Amino acid sequence: MARTLINLPALSKKGDVIEVRTLNAHPMETGYRPGADGKVLPRDLIRRFTCTYDDGASREVVFQAELFSAMAANPYLTFALLVTGPGTLTLVWEGDNGFAQTETLPLRVA
């Protein structure tokens, strides 16, 4: 399973705008690069990242990104989130060759 690093404040308050930082270990093979044998290595990218926020009152997609070859390897994605209540964040990475990874983490609100 690919390694991920997700960073967000350990504790926040309702109304805060927090920054969620995500890192996912993935080669992000562009599909343009020749390998050692001269043949172009097939594309192998994470194509989409989605963050869903369940604050107890609703469950909504709060951030979604489409990624392309021009993204660096081990994609780093950071976005802002308005804290509306304690709940759960579900982060999903999907990509080529059936790549799919989900991480869930709690959002702790004082």
Q: Which residues bind another protein (CB under 8 A)?
A: 3-5, 7, 17, 21, 23-25, 30, 32-36, 38, 53, 60-82, 84
- For the CB of residue 98, give the shortest distance to another protein in the complex, in Å: 21
- For the CB of residue 100, give the shortest distance to another protein in the complex, in Å: 18
Q: Closer to another protein at the Cβ: 21 or 108? A: 21
Cα–Cα nearest to 62, from 70, 72, 54: 54
Q: Closer to another protein at the Cβ: 20 or 97? A: 20
Cα–Cα distances (Å) from 75 to 15, 25, 30, 63, 69, in that order, read 28, 7, 13, 15, 11
- Residue matched to tokens 């060759």: 97
Q: Closer to another protein at the Cβ: 38 or 98? A: 38
Q: Closer to another protein at the Cβ: 84 or 93? A: 84
- For the CB of residue 97, give the shortest distance to another protein in the complex, in Å: 19
Cα–Cα nearest to 15, from 109, 104, 101: 109
Cα–Cα distances (Å) from 56 to 3, 24, 63, 90, in that order, read 28, 27, 18, 13
